[in-house]
């Protein structure tokens, strides 16, 4: 991911981040099945997809912590 893509993720709302996590999870699952079947040509795509999920979950958690801190 490039820096501008990471910045775009950071600026998304919680709902958008949750949908990104869900969609990327589905894509990762499909890639794993394709890898087992020998259909995947670019195995780096698995790595990039896992990283995207992790980044989205991190920003989602940061947003959650910020809202909890603001409520106190």
Q: What is the pLDDT of residues 20-68, one digit of tens each?
A: 999 999 999 999 999 999 999 999 999 999 999 999 999 999 999 999 9
Task: Give 8-23 pLDDT, tens digit per residue.
Answer: 999 999 999 999 999 9
**52 dihedral zone (left: phi>0; alpha: psi -120 to 50; beta):** alpha
Contact 52, 24 (CB under 8 A): yes
Q: pTM above the 0.85 mark? A: yes
> To 5 degrees, how large is the angle CA 60–CA 12–CA 21?
50
Tokens of 27: 């894509």
């Amino acid at each position: 991911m490039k820096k501008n893509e990471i910045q775009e993720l950071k600026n998304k709302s919680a709902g958008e981040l949750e949908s990104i996590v869900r969609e990327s999870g589905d894509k990762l699952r499909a890639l794993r099945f394709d890898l087992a079947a020998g259909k995947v040509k670019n195995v780096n795509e698995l790595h990039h997809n896992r990283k995207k999920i992790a980044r989205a979950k991190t920003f989602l958690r940061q947003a959650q912590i910020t809202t909890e801190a603001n409520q106190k």
